[in-house]
Chain A
Amino acid sequence: MSLFPMTGTILKSLFRKPATRAYPFVKRPHIAKTRGSIEIKIDACIYCGMCARKCPTTAITVDRATRTWSIDRLRCITCNGCVDVCPVNKKAPGSCLAMRESYTTPTGTRETEHHQGPEKAPAAAPKA
């Protein structure tokens, strides 16, 4: 049984850089591929509602009539499920829903974030 099993570690810690960061001056860089928060490129959205139906926490609502896509950030568990099922993404990954590396900023109130899509492009003139 050694008498001072901790001594080596203590000496090493004495000459080592601190294991912690001087937050808020030094911020932790986001690791690539982190599931941070959901972002939408609303112009590409086709309002199919797949993301809203597949969302395990029903954080997303899609309204086809008013062309809005809304998300309750506090309900979202960033499971990436909506990104996986988005039919627009199937054609070109990340073109509609995508996962950002950055987290949402802390908040004290529950708010639903609305994204208003552009007016529907006038459909090709009906063939008379």
Chain B
Amino acid sequence: MIEAQPTTNITPDTLVPETQKMKANGYRLVQMCASRLPEGLEVNYTFDKDCAFANLRILIAAESPSLPSVSGVYWAALLYENEMHDLYGIQFPGLVLDFKGNFYKVAKKHAFNEAASCTAPAKS
């Protein structure tokens, strides 16, 4: 075991206050990413303080997804949010710098939001 990785499940309403709490406690934003699961989109917000790991997790619907932007709290989040917008089609109202879908030049819009063929559960 390299490190413990505690994860807290939150909802879109509490996202911004929780992130502000993280920032106030001196956490650094490590990464943000979305994953397409059979039940919807799971978005992870990873933080770090002196190599101690913390993760916030939100599950939202895959159809026309939307989340409040945290780029007002962590400015660097705008890169991650633009990335998620281009690959998953998640809308981020309040994004400080919106590339309007031109952050990645992709041939197919929101390709990562398609349910993968392999996400079926394992045969036991």
In-complex A–B contact (CB below 8 Å): no
